[in-house]
Chain A
Amino acid sequence: MINETMAIASGTWRRMLRVRAVYFLIVCVFILIGSAYNYNILSMGEHKPLMIDVSLVLNTVAAILIAISVSFEIPRELREGVASTLLTKPLGRTEYLVGKLVGTSIAGFIICGLIALGFFVIFSFSFNEQVLTSMIQGHLLVLFSVIPMTALAVLFSVFIPEMLAALVTAAVIWFTHNSPVLLSSSATKFLYGGIVPDLNLFNLKAQAVYTSSISWAYLGTAFAWGIVYSVFALAIASLIFSYKDLK
């Protein structure tokens, strides 16, 4: 099972890392992060927190885009028959979905990791300071968030056409990143009973920006929760996919 899953994963992350636009976007992100240094006057001396915040926001956006990409890929492979060729081999449908999740997560870790490393280098050069643990933890949480977001994208992509799957995934990710605001309404509290993830768990920008310490236990818990939620989402996706007629 692991060999088959990793075979699919390798095809997936190769695809993502071969898209030249990804590297162009990474360069743009670096430029935006670096340019925060020039907002010393506009930000009234708060350009350091600004740079940290910008790096976390852009890394989160990159993570979201990476997760959403799979909601284009799976429906397209199903529509064109690419998935059918693979699924006639000794490859279970669940293994196919897990492979897509793992491959996208690996690509996400690499891309978001590059962005984080780039930020650390830019920050060190700009302020001649060491990168603090809270900044590393903030970026680590962004990396961890790739997994449950991708699992959501995989879930929607097995039964919704590609464009709609991407829009629904984006909407749910936006919705679940805003849990502190939306949970003020009792109507939305029900949805956070486990049906949709609370991606705000991975958002510790304030602590990272203002260098408050974050416990490593919290990171471990958030990561573990992300894995559990991903298993839950994949189980539903697998159940739906097992009944789907393929082209």
Chain B
Amino acid sequence: MAEIAVFTENLSKTYGWLLWKKKTPSLTDLNLSIPKGVVFGFLGPNGAGKTTTIRLLMDLIKPSAGTALILGKPTSDHDVKERVGFLPDCPAFQPYLTANEFLNICAKLLRVPSGERKKRIADVLETVNMTEHARSKLGGFSRGMTQRIGIAQAILNNPDLLILDEPLIGLDPLGRQELKNIILSQKRRGTNVFFSSHILSDVEKMADYVGILNRGKLLCYGTLDELLGDTGHKAKIRPGMDDMAKDLLSDATSSTKLADGGWELVFNSGAAIDQKLKSLKSAHPEAIDISSSKENLEDFFFRKIGITKQNDV
């Protein structure tokens, strides 16, 4: 258990307590075991139960059944909360406080030593590019600025576990890139990161482990390598080998002319094409590179939740 950052066993949540009202199961028998030192991306359509899971982990709501442990301790443990940073999906803070005052309150609650608070607050404000707004009232902040302050309060205590609920929402492209850099720098620090997102491409780039939730049930989780299957081959052809590329075009499912004049072709698996590529590689080892082509996360996601993706016309 010491090597597990987040552990859940049959974790379930059903909302509603009135006897005569229909109960809505929001989460059913969630079993997760996320190792330490990884970035975990939690995916699912709207209403899948991602935020419910995160609220259960943060002890904001009580489970109907099952258990959850974070960093090996129960979610209600105050000592473990000292080591966790949390960003809610729509962060809201006291509007009458300045950014400095709010972060100072958070620092006190997180038991940051008084001698270090000022420096820590200045550092996190600089990290999220909000130093110039330190003395401005939170009520006057835009959505993106509020999100940045939310990130600042989440990393204030140099957490061992960072839990982020839809962290990229509300950020402009620059802000999104900054947040991705923050997540990756936290990972390099050894922080475990658990985040939920709708933006599949970002999850694919940042996450080591991915879990997909739909209608309260975990459909799958594991590393991207484990989850994304091989769909065929990818061939990279050197510039100046247009004849070879033209020969292969009819078998390719997609082709891209690269900026340097070379070609990138994708093929489905098949005995004939496999043999053809093998022969070309033997004959012209320098001219062509062949690798396995993996399914992308978006296709995998839609396949798992049972929705047919409509290709753009």
Q: State the A residues within 8 Å of B (CB).
A: 3-4, 6-8, 10-11, 14-15, 18, 77, 80-82, 84-92, 243, 245-247
Chain B residues 40-76 with CB under 8 Å of chain A are 55, 58-62
Residues from chain B with a CB closer than 8 A to the CB of A245 are: 15, 55, 60-62
Whether A88 pairs with B105 at a CB distance below 8 angstroms is no
For residue B90, which residue of chain A has the nearest CB? A81
Instruction: Please report the total number of B residues contacting A with Cβ < 8 Å.
Output: 31
Residues from chain B with a CB closer than 8 A to the CB of A7 are 105, 108-109
User: 1/0 per residue B3-42: CB within 8 Å of A?
Assistant: 0000000000001000000000000000000000000000
The answer to whether A90 and B78 have CB atoms under 8 Å apart is: yes
B254 within 8 A of A: no
- By a CB distance below 8 angstroms, the chain B residues around A90 are 78-79, 81-82, 109-111
| Chain B nearest CB, measured from A149 CB (Å) | 22
> Residues of A contacting B84 with CB < 8 Å?
88
- Say whether B122 faces chain A, with CB atoms less than 8 Å apart: no
Tell me, in angstroms, the Cα distance from A91 to B84 when the chains sit together.
13
Name the residue of chain A whose CB is nearest to the CB of B75. A88
Q: Which of A85, A243, A245 has the most CB of B within 10 A?
A: A85
A-facing mask of B76-88, CB < 8 A → 1, else 0?
0011011010101
Residues of chain A with a CB closer than 8 A to B102's CB: 11
**10 other contacts beyond A85-B92, A247-B60, with CB at 8 A cut-off?**
A3-B111, A8-B105, A11-B94, A15-B94, A80-B92, A85-B91, A85-B93, A88-B86, A90-B81, A245-B15
- Least CB separation from B98: chain A residue: A14
- Determine whether B244 belongs to the interface, using a CB cutoff of 8 Å to chain A: no
| Pair A89/B96 contact, Cβ less than 8 Å | no
Of A10, A11, A246, the contact of B55 (CB 8 Å cutoff):
A246
Question: Is there an interface contact between B109 and A89, defined as CB atoms closer than 8 Å?
Answer: yes
The answer on a CB contact under 8 Å between A11 and B78 is no
Provided the pairs A14-B96, A245-B60 are in contact, do residues A89 and B106 lie with their beta carbons within 8 angstroms?
Answer: yes
Assess whether B108 is in contact with A92, with CB atoms less than 8 Å apart.
no
Q: Given B15, B60, B94, B101, which contacts A88 in the complex, CB threshold below 8 Å? A: B60
B145 contacts the other chain (CB 8 A): no
Is the Cβ of B97 less than 8 Å from the Cβ of A84?
no
Residue of A nearest to B107 (CB): A7
A14 and B101 form a contact (CB under 8 A)? yes
Q: Which residues of A contact B186 (CB under 8 A)?
A: none
- Are A91 and B91 in contact, CB atoms less than 8 angstroms apart? no
Chain B residues contacting A15 (CB-CB under 8 Å) are: 94, 96-97
The smallest beta-carbon distance between A163 and chain B, in angstroms, is: 19
10 example contacts (A-B, Cβ-Cβ < 8 A) are as follows A11-B97, A11-B105, A14-B97, A84-B88, A85-B93, A85-B150, A85-B153, A86-B106, A90-B78, A90-B111
Q: How far is the CA of A175 from the CA of B73 in the complex (A)?
A: 47
Q: Which of B88, B94, B101, B110 is close to A89, meaning CB atoms less than 8 Å apart? A: B110
Q: A11-B105, A15-B94 are in contact. Are A89 and B81 (CB under 8 A)?
A: yes
**A81 proximity list for chain B (CB < 8 A):** 88, 90-92
Whole-angstrom distance between the alpha carbons of A91 and B81 in the complex?
A: 9
Q: Is the CB of B62 within 8 A of A4?
A: no
Residues of A within 8 A of B90 (CB): 81
By a CB distance below 8 angstroms, the chain A residues around B105 are 7-8, 10-11, 86
Q: B97 — which chain A residues lie within 8 A by C-beta?
A: 11, 14-15
- Per-residue CB contact flags for chain B residues 127-154 toward chain A (1 = under 8 Å, else 0) read 0000000000000000000000010010
Nearest neighbor of A1 in chain B, beta-carbon distance: B78
Nearest CB of B to A19, in Å = 8
